[in-house]
Amino acid sequence: MFNSKLPTQSELPTSRQLLRSTVIAVGVAAALLVTVVMPSEYAIDPTGVGRVLGLTQMGEMKKTLAEEAAADAAVQPAAAPVVQAPVPTQPVVQEPVAAAPVAEPVAEPEPAVKSDEVTVTLKPGEASEIKLEMLDKATVSYEWTTNGVPVNHDTHGEPYNGPKGYYHSYSKAKQITGDKGEFTAIFDGTHGWFWRNRSNKDVTITLKTKGEYLSVKRVI
């Protein structure tokens, strides 16, 4: 048989060479752990190399799949209800019940018709506003006149709890001495008139109203 020749003492690696090889191997293993194993298996990438190589994304996907599997395992299927066989019962004979009397619908009272007359005086540049509280579809007729000095006006309504700044205008005009007409409220809220005196004289405005409103008040 062929026997291998044993290496001589000079051919064997020294302790220094073995230590050096061990240190290099440990360093390579640590580098692979940090740059490859930790990003791909645990989505931990302290150096950023794993994300460049696409390994961190792989680890994140594995982590997400593991979390979803754990969540699915935690959800136990509900036990199927036990269906019991119906127990035969004797038929119950119902006594005829007399029909309850049907209540006659009560008609809601019609809103009371009111009439008012209000007078305001405005200095040059001043403004005033008078509002009626009205319910939806209530109607009012009105007439207002000045003492001859023209004013700007806007007849409008604002809903209760409506959006800030929202209003519905029924009519408006500039530099007139009076207006008359009728309008029907299109929502529950306050409806009325705004005047501004753009002249250099005092102006007196007299407003007359008649209709289905709850109250009248001067706002400005």
Tens of pLDDT, residues 37-60: 776 777 677 777 767 777 777 767
In the sheet with 189-196, reading across from the earlier edge strand, the strands are: 168-176, 151-159, 189-196, 127-134, 215-218
Tell me, yes or no, whether 124 and 55 share the same domain: no
Determine the average pLDDT of the residues in 93-112: 60
Cβ proximity of 183 and 85 under 8 Å: no
Output the pLDDT for position 100: 62
What is the Cβ-side half-sphere exposure of residue 89, based on CA atoms within 13 angstroms?
6
| pLDDT at 164 exceeding the cut of 60 | yes
Residue type, 193: W
Q: What percent of the chain has pLDDT over 90?
A: 47
CA–CA gap between residue 96 and residue 200 (Å, rounded) = 85
- Name the domain count of the chain: 2
User: Which range has the worst mean pLDDT, 26-30, 68-72, 114-118, 198-202?
Assistant: 68-72
Higher-confidence residue of 95 and 55: namely 55
Quick check: is 8 in a domain? Answer: no
Tell me, yes or no, whether 65 and 122 share the same domain: no
Cβ proximity of 163 and 202 under 8 Å: no
Quick check: is 78 in a domain? Answer: no
What is the band of 4 on the pLDDT scale with cuts at 50, 70, 90? low
Quick check: is 25 in a domain? Answer: yes
Domain that holds residue 36: 15-70
pTM: 0.51
Tell me, yes or no, whether 126 and 200 share the same domain: yes
Tell me, yes or no, whether 131 and 210 share the same domain: yes
Residue with tokens 């961190």: 56
